Amino acid sequence: MRRGPSSVGPVLIDSSVLIAAARPSESRHADARAALERHAGSLAVPVTILSETMAFLVARLGIEQQRRFWDAFLVSGIELIATDGALLAEAREIDRSYADVSFGFADCTLLAACETLKAEALLTLDARLGLYRPRYASGMTIEP
């Protein structure tokens, strides 16, 4: 696994980074914010990850924090990746191939988006995602 900034393709974001960036009390808050700022203009997130993030924020922090995040997301310039049937099928294949890791639905759709877009970088605080080996490259950059 390579580490550090990537200059090729979109940089995909996991909910762990979005949540840490939205919560100043998180231990990795500064790291998450710095990574998002470092890659501004090349960031993308699947709608499934955005949904997971929004559900977490409302459940743990309340509707007002979710609304603040929502407003910030709308002006962030982060590209939203649609989840269609092909991406869902790719995600299911990843789930089958990595069944022992138990990535879960949202993580599998994130990794399927990596495959579809040939992303070389992934912003995540979830070390398990570093176990994934894309078919299109020898590895992905994992940050922060």
- CB–CB of 57/42 below 8 Å? no
| CA distance linking residue 124 with residue 13, whole number of Å | 6
Residue-level pLDDT at 138: 87
Residue 107, number of CB atoms within 10 A of its CB:
26
| CA distance linking residue 47 with residue 87, whole number of Å | 11
Spans of the chain below 70 pLDDT: 1-8
| CA distance linking residue 113 with residue 83, whole number of Å | 9
Q: Which domain holds residue 34?
A: 11-143
Which CATH number characterizes residue 30's domain? 3.40.50.1010
> Token digits for 107?
């993580």
Residue-level pLDDT at 8: 63
Domain total in the chain = 1
The HSE-up count of residue 13 (CA atoms within 13 Å, CB side) is 34
Answer yes or no: is 113 within a domain: yes
